Amino acid sequence: MIEPDLAAAREWPRPLPVVLAPARDEALSSWLARHATFYGLGITSMRRHCVPDSVSLPGLDRKLTPDQEARLAHLFRRDRVAIRDMMHMHSGWAVDRLVARAVDHRCEQCARLLASEGHADALPRSWFHTWRISCERCGLPIASASKASWAVLPDLFHHLWSTALKGERLLSGAVDRASPAASDLPTTLLRVLMISSASDAIPEGRSMLSCPGSTPPLTAMGSLFRSRP
């Protein structure tokens, strides 16, 4: 781990006297914004106090320098790992483009639960994931951040709902397995679809090479491309 500049660390402000507990899966920008409200500060003032060389709070969800990470850990009396756990940790990977800069959707049930736990303004990281159609926490259909209700979505597209949920799981799994070495977004999505299509055709516990008569990987990929408009 790269250590922060010790000379700069001596110039840091004192730790905050009161530190709010983060909500479950809360985004770093949301946690910092709640502290701004608690201390009666504007978002910009809080950002400049905590991370003066940053451009915006949402940007901190995606990338922190070692000095920024250490400064936040110092000010909020948290371990640096705890700070990183509130970030979107796939910066630089293609699917990172599917993580919104602002909240993309919300789950009304979980929003009420957060409010009952004293975290009414907390924003979970999963609410920034644009590929989600169901809540990561409770599994219910989500509502768009524009306040337009999606409650009727399963009824309107009942015949597609299970397929859409499968796609959601594929992308969520791809994000969980993400590595910094990445290709462009279209290639990444096609790779996810190819692996899924190949897996559906192979019995559980068997590999493509161990199945007599199975389609070689490159042929399977070509067939997949031809079968899609």
Residue 103: HSE in the Cβ half-sphere, 13 Å Cα cutoff: 20
The whole-number average pLDDT for the span 26-34 is 96
What pLDDT is recorded for position 19? Answer: 97
Residue ranges with strand state E in the chain: 105-106, 143-144
What pLDDT is recorded for position 162? Answer: 86
- Identify the CA nearest to 189 among candidates 211, 169, 200, 174: 174
What pLDDT is recorded for position 187? Answer: 65
What pLDDT is recorded for position 223? Answer: 44
Distance between CA atoms of 196 and 201, rounded to whole angstroms? 9
| 84 phi and psi angles, rounded to 5 deg | -65, -35
Distance between CA atoms of 64 and 59, rounded to whole angstroms? 8
What pLDDT is recorded for position 155? Answer: 60
Mean pLDDT (the chain, rounded): 77
Banded pLDDT at 68 (limits 50, 70, 90): very high
What is the per-residue pLDDT across 119-141, written as a single tens digit (0 to 9) for each? 999 999 999 988 888 999 999 88
Kindly list the domain boundaries of the chain, sorted by start residue.
6-89, 92-157
What is the per-residue pLDDT across 95-119, written as a single tens digit (0 to 9) for each? 677 788 888 788 989 999 999 999 9
The pTM (predicted TM-score) of the whole model is 0.73
Distance between CA atoms of 181 and 63, rounded to whole angstroms? 16
